[in-house]
Chain A
Amino acid sequence: MTTAKVIGLRGDDAVAYAVKQCNVDCIAAYPITPQTIIVETLSKFVSNGEMNAKYINVESEHSAMSATIGACLAGGRVFTATASQGLALMHEVLYAASGLRCPIVLAVANRALSAPINIHCDHSDVMGSRDSGWVILFAENCQEAYDLTILAFKLAEDEDILLPVMVNLDGFILSHSLERVEVIPDEEVKRWLPPRQAKYKVDPKNPITFGVFSLFDSYFEIKRGQEEAMRMVLKKIPEIYDKFYELSGRQYSNLVKYKMDDAEHVIVVLGSTAGTARHAADRLREGGIKAGVLSLHLFRPFPTKEVQKSLSNTKTVTVMDRAISFGAQGGPLFEDIATALYDTPNRPLIASYIYGLGGRDITSRQIREAVRKSIQAQEEGKKIIRMGFIGVKGGE
């Protein structure tokens, strides 16, 4: 570890800066707000010779992910970025990427889905791709967007893993916000991620058939294999976090725990809202409520055991989802947390709150109100609040 340089970067710039340092061979680029800055910045890097990568201006996100798969199977280190409708258009290709075990890194500047059209932040896009077999990481700030992008390549390309990785950063809130980012010197990142040497690739000397026709006698085992690789992520990611600490001086973990040691009332959240939740927790503590915040860097594979451990001695768990799962019992994060708590000895009250859809602001006060409602329900002997809403007009 050497002295880091501190610069001001927007979240999108931070991702692009990381990609520039990672010996990436091929980028597939297609614009979509609020991700566009990433591909614009990369275009500048490539055109100015600051980065030696092939830059393919594809004609859709569907082709972006497709070209990325091709580039990956050719043996390259590959990157693309998208958001919202773009991720939705990629949907079927995402499954092909994971099924073909392509270690692709994809940045998603999270944005709401149409209709109605909305360009602002929520997590409907990534949650729609939740089951596509990708490792899913969430950044809380621009520094994390930078760090997790670098880390994502290491994770994806680990030979025991070989899975694509999605790095999520909240649209506009992070993608377009200028923050202080410590960047690692180029040569150190390049040493950490030397040019990719792919074990499985399209090589005339060793012809492999990729993307076979697999029927009921083999498909199931191939899918089970992907699940094994997901389990392997949980096993190997601590080691990668530690190696990244050696590189950057920043220690990552699957969960970020804030005042969790003695917390009785916990807010669980993904992405940039964690900071607001911490503010809410501080205020609640001022009022005598032992509040804490649990935020997740790693959403898939879901770090079940750690979540169970963190929440085992709590009274209420308020889960905040920036995505709605229509007709379900709560948001997608809620359902994961609720399932994790099922076999814990002291099940706390668990509450689902949908917030911030289409970029609606979320305030510390609103989060505090949600926690108070959870506490009240728990005191009334309830065990669960299903599909609650925060900050929606016309009744919550």
Chain B
Amino acid sequence: MEVKTYFRRATDLPREELFGPGHRLCAGCGPAIAVRLALKAIRKPVIVVNATSCVEVASTPYPYTAWAVPWVHVLFENTAAVASGIVETLDKLVKEGRAEDADVIAIGGDGGTFDIGLQALSGALERGHKFLYICLDNEAYMNTGIQRSGATPRGAETTTSFAGKVIPGKLEYKKDLASIVVAHAVPYVATASIGYWLDYVNKVRRALETDGPSFIHVLTPCQTGWRFDASKTVEIGKLAVETKIFPLYEVINGVYRINVKPKSFKPIEEYLKLQGRFKHLFEPQNRHIIDEIQQQVDARWKRLLVLEEVSQRW
């Protein structure tokens, strides 16, 4: 499988900032990094459709805006549907000389994508609109104050999965969103992490070059919700990959390709111990949860290796 690399170093990216400084996101905000980088990887003008989220709220406090591109926010769960309308109408109007050509990028958080927006996303993927959907995954409803979502990992404490004496944080595992998207048989699906920014920007560009719907699930650590020092965002984004809890891979026309495959991986504890949301797991009565998370991480990695191998033969 031949995959094109568009950017090899930082200087390959444009200096121009389309997601401007002055937005009101936290210092060390993972999603802000993902948005800024995505807009540096575009191939032609873009229109951004943004679900209700931290990024949406913090980037457009009227009368200010951080966006130097056309930008639309409608509601929480309908971002993919709004994008559908823009993509199709723009296609017609551009052909008739009534509008400027542009790529459409939809952006939603994990709540807006894994949970409340899943139906609209599924519908848009099935219909095959040519657009890129980026899910900025910070693993909880951060905009409303760190509540559990379908993307919150097992063991994590949130304000609605409190780590108490009886229930030690979230009991369930994270929903495998990328697999759900892959099941729609769309031409381009990728996972990414802001810790691997070069990998991520190339994926954004590949997605935009795709003729059909494309999807990027990017892990965007949240220092406020995950409780780590604001200087550690990128490091945590790297550790998620190095511990295999968030593997980086692409599925291009159904064929899996794992992007980062080091010889030895770090144990999951190294990732968990840096984050306050997992602090309670290190108490003796909860240590078994760490073991279980490790087992699940290993099993999912094994499954991914098999998928990569098997899908080459499809």
Q: Which residues of A contact B (CB under 8 A)?
A: 25-26, 28, 52-54, 56-60, 62-64, 66-76, 78, 92-93, 96, 100, 195, 197, 201-205, 207-215, 218
Contact = CB atoms under 8 A, between A and B. Distances in A.
Interface string B35-52: 000000000011101000
B78 A63 contact: yes
B135 interface: no
B42 to A, nearest CB: 11
Interface in B80-101: 80-93, 96, 98-100
A70 B75 contact: no
Contacts of B147: none
B122 interface: yes
Given A209-B60, A215-B61, A59 B69 contact: no
A52 B88 CA distance: 12
A59 B93 contact: no
Interface of B: 45-47, 49, 56-57, 60-63, 65, 67-75, 77-78, 80-93, 96, 98-100, 102, 119-120, 122-123, 126-127
A73 B72 contact: yes
Contacts of B62: 212-215, 218
Given A25-B93, A195-B96, A74 B81 contact: no
B85 A75 contact: no
A59 B123 CA distance: 6
Given A76-B89, A76-B93, A93-B74, A70 B82 contact: yes
15 contacts: A56-B88, A58-B84, A59-B122, A63-B80, A66-B78, A70-B74, A70-B81, A71-B88, A74-B89, A76-B93, A93-B74, A208-B70, A210-B73, A213-B61, A218-B62
B48 to A, nearest CB: 9
Nearest to A26: B89
Contacts of B120: 59-60, 62-63, 66
B60 A69 contact: no
A54 B98 CA distance: 15
Contacts of B47: 74, 202, 204
A160 B185 CA distance: 46
B100 A203 contact: yes
A59 B119 contact: yes
B89 A211 contact: no
A54 B75 CA distance: 23
Per CB-CB distance, the 6 closest pairs between chain A and chain B, nearest first, are A70-B85, A59-B123, A204-B45, A211-B73, A63-B81, A66-B78
A112 B89 CA distance: 33
A62 B123 CA distance: 12
B67 A69 contact: no
* Most chain A CB neighbours (cut-off 10 Å) among B83, B84, B87, B120: B84
B71 A62 contact: no
A197 B82 CA distance: 20
B123 A69 contact: no
Contacts of A73: 72, 85-86
B67 A26 contact: no
A66 B81 contact: yes
B92 A213 contact: no
Given A63-B120, A66-B120, A212-B61, A74 B75 contact: no
B75 A96 contact: yes
B210 to A, nearest CB: 20
A7 B89 CA distance: 31
A205 B70 CA distance: 9
A269 B200 CA distance: 61
Contacts of A203: 70, 99-100
B91 A54 contact: yes
Contacts of B99: 74-75, 201, 203
Contact of A57 (B65, B67, B82, B127): B127
A67 B74 CA distance: 10
A388 B99 CA distance: 55
Given A74-B99, A204-B45, A213-B62, A54 B89 contact: yes
